[in-house]
Amino acid sequence: MEFYELHPVNPQIRYINKAVEILKNGGVIIYPTDTVYGFGCDIFNKRALQRIYDIKNEAGTKLFSFICPNLKNISKYAKVSDYAYKTMKHLLPGPYTFVLPAAREVPKKLWSKRKTVGIRVPDHQITITLAEEMGNPIISTSVTYRTGEIILDPYEIQSVFDSKVDLMLSAGALFGKPSSIVDLSTDVPEVIREGAGDVSMFY
């Protein structure tokens, strides 16, 4: 694994570009978000996606969300109602995953049975810059032990996954909880998971 320590507010673009090159060549990386570290790959690369399933010891039916760099980008990958757009504009970037009806652009492997997808726009400059430079969405699923316990220390992550991923972008130890998951696929919001983001407005 290539391992790079980045400034969390002004990330070194040369390290971001190394990560983008690996992603575009079908690699798997680890990167920080505004909540926890995430495994990432190009959403359009089936082989890389399978590698993440294998690393996490997850069944191929497990649903992963993905990162977009901003709201403008989201309508290409999901159907966004006026209500959903206003809600996301108010809360993003931030520690939320929003469930929306999938657009055809998204590989069906990432669709739920209800034909929805989970989308994130984290409030972290490294993540946003990475997604912007990549030019299309990046898989986002928490870095965990096989038991499901989240790992927040970058050096522990490096020791556990050194031989399993291609590159890690480190921003120091993170102390977050996973993102809150809110279903906005209808005009009646449903909180799927209470996490780092405040969801009181949805009750």
**Is pLDDT at 42 greater than 90 in this prediction?**
yes
Domain ranges of the chain: 2-198
**Average pLDDT in the 26-36 region?**
96
Predicted structure pTM score: 0.93
122-163 pLDDT, tens per residue?
999 999 999 999 999 999 999 998 888 899 999 999 999 999
In the prediction, which pLDDT does 151 show?
Answer: 92
**Under 8 Å between Cβ of 169 and 55:** no
Average pLDDT score over residue span 1-10: 93
- Are the C-beta atoms of residues 141 and 39 closer than 8 Å to each other? yes
Residue 60 confidence (pLDDT): 63
* pLDDT bucket at 200, cuts 50 / 70 / 90: very high
Judge residue 92's burial from the number of C-beta atoms within 10 Å of its C-beta, 0-12 exposed, 13-18 middle, 19 or more buried.
buried
Task: Identify the CA nearest to 139 among candidates 157, 119, 153.
Answer: 119
Least confident of 44-48, 58-62, 101-105, 193-197: 58-62
**Strand boundaries in the chain, DSSP class E:** 2-5, 29-32, 37-40, 65-67, 96-101, 116-120, 138-142, 167-170, 180-183, 190-193
- Stretch 5-25: mean pLDDT, rounded? 95
What is residue 134's three-state secondary structure? helix
Tell me the per-residue pLDDT of 66-91, one tens digit each, with 9 for 90 and over: 999 888 888 889 999 999 999 999 99
- Assign domain 2-198 to a CATH class: alpha beta
pLDDT of residue 88: 95
Per-residue model confidence (pLDDT) at position 96: 96
Band of residue 61 on the pLDDT scale cut at 50, 70, 90: low
- The mean per-residue pLDDT over the stretch 83-112 comes to 92
Residue 179 is given by DSSP the state P
* Nearest-angstrom CA–CA distance, 136 and 134: 6
Question: Is residue 29 over pLDDT 90?
Answer: yes
CB 178 within 8 A of CB 150: yes
